[in-house]
Amino acid sequence: MRFTRMTAGFASAVVCAASLVAASPAQGSAQASAKAAPVSPASKLDSTVLSTYAQGGTANVWVRMAAKADLSGAKKIKDRTARGRTVMNDLKSEADRSQSPVQKVLKAAGLTGRTYWATNAIYVPGLPESVARKIAAMQGVAEIRQSRTFQLPKPMPSKATAHSAANELPWGLTDIKADQVWSQTGRRGEGVVVASVDSGVQYDHPALVRQYRGNNGDGTFTNDYNWFDPAGICKEVAPCDNNEHGTHTMGTMVGDDGKGTQVGVAPGAKWIAAKGCETSGCSDTSLLASLQWMLAPTDHDNQNPDPAKRPDIVNNSWGSQPSNDPMFEDVQLAWAAAGIMGVWANGNDGPNCETSGAPGSRTVNYSVGAYGSDHKIASFSSRGPGQDGEVKPNLSAPGVAVRSSVPGGKYAELDGTSMATPHVAGAVALLWSARPEYQRDLAKTRELLNISAIDTPDTQCGGTPANNNVYGEGRLDALALVTMGTAGLGTLSGTVTDATTKQPMAGATVHAEGPMDRTFTTGADGKFTFRVSAGDYKLTTTAFGFQTGTATVTLSKDGSLTQNVSLTPAQRVNVTGKVTDGSGKGGGLPAKIVANDGDGHTWTTTASDDGAYTLPLVPNLSYKLTFTSTAPGYDPATREIKLGEAAQTLDVGLTVRLACDAKGYQVKRDGSVEAFGTGRLPKGWKVTNVDPRIPHYSYQPGWVFNDPGKRGNHTGGSGTFAVVDSLHTGAGHVQDTYLTSPSYNLSKRTKATIEFSNDLKPAINSTTSADVSLDGGRTWTNVWTAKGFPGATGPATQVIPIPQANGKSDVRYRLHYRGQLSGWWAVDDAFAGDRTCVVANS
Residue 246 to residue 240: CA distance in whole angstroms: 9
Give the Å distances, CA to CA, from 90 to 412, 586, 615, 838.
43, 89, 73, 92
Residue 718 to residue 96: CA distance in whole angstroms: 93
Catalytic residue among 19, 196, 290, 418: 418
Residue 367 to residue 399: CA distance in whole angstroms: 13
Give the Å distances, CA to CA, from 460 to 5, 383, 471.
22, 10, 11
Q: How far, in whole angstroms, is CA 163 from its chain's centroid?
A: 33
Give the Å distances, CA to CA, from 220 to 77, 215, 268, 311.
36, 6, 20, 21
Residue 602 to residue 617: CA distance in whole angstroms: 9
Closest among 671, 668, 690, 801 to 742, alpha carbons compared: 671
- The verdict on whether 198 is a catalytic residue reads yes
Task: Give Rg (Cα) of the chain.
Answer: 39
Residue 227 to residue 622: CA distance in whole angstroms: 73
Catalytic residue among 90, 147, 164, 245: 245
Closest among 175, 158, 156, 169 to 397, alpha carbons compared: 175
Please, are residues 737 and 689 in contact by the beta-carbon 8 Å criterion? yes
Longest dimension (CA), the chain: 120
Please, are residues 250 and 196 in contact by the beta-carbon 8 Å criterion? yes
HSE value, Cβ hemisphere, 13 Å, CA-based, for 369:
38
Q: How far apart are the first and last CA of the chain?
A: 88
Please, are residues 756 and 769 in contact by the beta-carbon 8 Å criterion? no
Which of 468-488 are b and which e, b meaning 16 or more Cβ less than 10 Å from the residue's Cβ?
Answer: bbbbbbbbbbbbbbbbbbebb
Residue 286 to residue 314: CA distance in whole angstroms: 16
For residue 436, report the phi and psi dihedrals to the nearest 5 degrees: -60, -20
Residue 603 to residue 813: CA distance in whole angstroms: 45
Residue 782 to residue 70: CA distance in whole angstroms: 75
Give the Å distances, CA to CA, from 607 to 577, 624, 628, 634, 639.
9, 17, 10, 15, 16
Residue 556 to residue 558: CA distance in whole angstroms: 6
Residue 84 to residue 89: CA distance in whole angstroms: 9
Where helices occur in 296-343 by DSSP H, the ranges are: 329-338
The dihedral sign for the CA sequence 410, 415, 421, 427: positive
Residue 589 to residue 609: CA distance in whole angstroms: 6
For residue 328, report the phi and psi dihedrals to the nearest 5 degrees: 50, 30
HSE value, Cβ hemisphere, 13 Å, CA-based, for 399:
33
Q: Determine the length of the chain.
A: 842
Q: Could you count the other beta carbons within 10 Å of the beta carbon of residue 460?
A: 12
DSSP 153: P
Q: Could you count the other beta carbons within 10 Å of the beta carbon of residue 505?
A: 22
Closest among 785, 821, 781 to 803, alpha carbons compared: 781
Report the C-alpha dihedral over residues 269, 272, 276, 277, rounded to 10 degrees: 80
Q: Could you tell me whether strands 463-464 and 535-542 are parallel, antiparallel, or unpaired per DSSP bridges?
A: unpaired
Residue 44 to residue 144: CA distance in whole angstroms: 6
Catalytic residues: 198, 245, 418
